[in-house]
């Protein structure tokens, strides 16, 4: 038995923050039905281009980890005859995910109040840039903008000049917080019998990145941009072969081991001597440049210090540790194999289900609609699966 066996999730999401819980739920055995709006598919085609043939399209849809283990229902939510289908889905659903701007789902007749009237037990999760309330609620934005307004972008790279991050930090944080919130709401429903509206803002979800800095400050207004100065709590070092490694020996006992391994035992007593730090850093950088990365990693492992290679995404995915932890998924599709990230946690009694690749849009229409008792041919003739009718922003 899977951890979420019997849970039904309607996934209206278009981007990673909203889709994140659907991915985890699907991995844990829930029936996740991805509602695919034909206009959203057309927008994605205009933004990212279309695949040259069906095999290429199969691979394009299968590559993102967050699309797996979901069924696809191609449907125009704004079409008048789509309403009975959606209401039937909502009536049996446990969770609904959406990532539109506040008010868009309500304009399509799919707001929380309307759907809660159909299914009072529904957990309705809205993931948006700035949330459902507040002066920024109507604004749109993506990951870096959320980090910016959350105060995190000012500190992410550790230098006085902020830059765009090379990974989706706020997206993943919002998705993870949405997952926690939905599971909390499901537990609350277990006690009360009632669903509720879950409001997750990317701007809110990014603010926990500031917890350590805020926890050390007498006055938050005194926290500015980092000065970029090196401190012996760690570092990123370039080795003789051009490869990089990262050290995090911030505890004094680890710092002492690091200094001993580097042949600089006298540096151990100067960990907090800020005046000496620039010269120490330059000396250590020069030392690292004398040997390849493998040499240093072997040295630090023997000394039991905190050092790891700086890996590229591909190297990380194929690293023996990721393999041993099932974090590297090779997912066969009809057009070839794609590589994905595994489920990022372990349950001792409920492992993830075998991964299934994302289907092409509407691949599950017949099965889902037949389960609900609808005439698929009649709906297709009415144009429910096209973008001809229905407003959308």
Query: Does residue 51 surpass a pLDDT of 70?
Result: no
DSSP character at residue 222: G
pLDDT digits (tens, 9 = 90+) for 297-342: 999 999 999 999 999 999 999 999 999 999 999 999 999 999 999 9
pLDDT digits (tens, 9 = 90+) for 206-249: 999 999 999 999 999 999 999 999 999 899 999 999 999 999 99
- DSSP 3-state of 329: strand
Least confident range of 49-53, 87-91, 131-135, 151-155: 49-53
**Judging by DSSP bridges, how do beta strands 197-201 and 123-128 pair with one another?**
parallel
pLDDT digits (tens, 9 = 90+) for 178-210: 999 999 999 999 999 999 999 999 999 999 999
Kindly tell me the burial class for residue 122, based on how many C-beta atoms sit within 10 Å of its own C-beta (0-12, 13-18, 19 or more). buried
Phi/psi of residue 224, each to 5°?
A: -110, -155
CA–CA dist 108, 104 (Å, integer): 7
CA–CA dist 60, 332 (Å, integer): 13
Kindly tell me the burial class for residue 220, based on how many C-beta atoms sit within 10 Å of its own C-beta (0-12, 13-18, 19 or more). exposed
Q: Label residue 40 by pLDDT band (50, 70, 90).
A: confident
- Nearest of 158, 133, 163, 127 to residue 147 by alpha carbon: 163
Q: What is the pLDDT of residue 391?
A: 42
Q: Say how many CA atoms lie within 13 Å of 162 toward its Cβ.
A: 15
- DSSP 3-state of 388: coil
Least confident range of 45-54, 241-250, 270-279: 45-54
Query: Does residue 354 surpass a pLDDT of 60?
Result: yes
pTM for this one?
A: 0.94
Task: Kindly state the average pLDDT of the residues 348-375.
Answer: 97
- Nearest of 368, 369, 385 to residue 32 by alpha carbon: 368
């Amino acid at each position: 038995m899977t951890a979420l066996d019997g849970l039904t999730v309607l996934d209206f999401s278009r981007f990673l923050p909203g889709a994140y819980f659907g991915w985890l739920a699907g991995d844990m055995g829930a029936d996740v039905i991805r509602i695919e709006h034909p206009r959203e598919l057309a927008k994605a085609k205009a933004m990212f281009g279309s695949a040259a043939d069906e095999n290429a399209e199969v691979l394009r849809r299968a590559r993102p980890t967050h699309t797996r283990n979901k069924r696809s229902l191609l449907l125009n939510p704004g079409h008048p005859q789509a309403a009975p289908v959606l209401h039937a889905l909502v009536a049996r659903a446990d969770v609904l995910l959406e990532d539109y701007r506040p008010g868009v789902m309500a304009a399509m007749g799919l707001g929380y109040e309307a759907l809660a009237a159909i299914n009072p037990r529904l957990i309705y999760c809205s993931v948006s840039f700035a949330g459902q309330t507040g002066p920024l609620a109507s604004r749109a934005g993506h990951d870096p903008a959320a980090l910016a307004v959350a105060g995190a972008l000012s500190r992410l790279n550790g230098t006085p000049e902020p830059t765009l991050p090379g990974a989706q930090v706020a997206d993943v944080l919002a998705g993870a917080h949405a997952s926690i919130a939905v599971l909390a709401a499901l537990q609350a429903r277990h006690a009360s019998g009632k669903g509720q509206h879950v409001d997750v803002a990317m701007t809110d979800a990014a603010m926990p990145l500031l917890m350590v800095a805020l926890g050390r400050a007498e006055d938050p207004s005194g926290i500015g941009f980092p000065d970029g100065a090196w401190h012996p709590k760690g570092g990123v070092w370039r080795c003789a072969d051009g490869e990089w490694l990262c050290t995090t020996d911030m505890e004094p006992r680890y710092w002492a081991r690091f200094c001993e391994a580097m042949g600089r035992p006298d540096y151990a007593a100067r960990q907090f001597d800020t005046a000496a730090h620039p010269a120490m850093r330059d000396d250590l950088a020069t030392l690292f440049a004398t040997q390849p990365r493998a040499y240093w990693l072997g040295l630090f492992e023997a000394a039991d210090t905190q050092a790891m290679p700086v890996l590229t995404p591909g190297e990380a995915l194929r690293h023996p540790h990721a393999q041993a932890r099932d974090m590297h998924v090779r997912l066969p599709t009809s057009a070839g194999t794609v590589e994905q990230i595994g489920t990022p946690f372990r349950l001792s009694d409920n492992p993830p289900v075998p991964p299934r690749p994302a289907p092409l849009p509407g691949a599950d229409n017949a099965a889902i609609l037949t389960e609900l008792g609808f005439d698929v041919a009649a709906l297709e003739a009415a144009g429910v699966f096209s973008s001809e009718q229905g407003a959308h922003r």
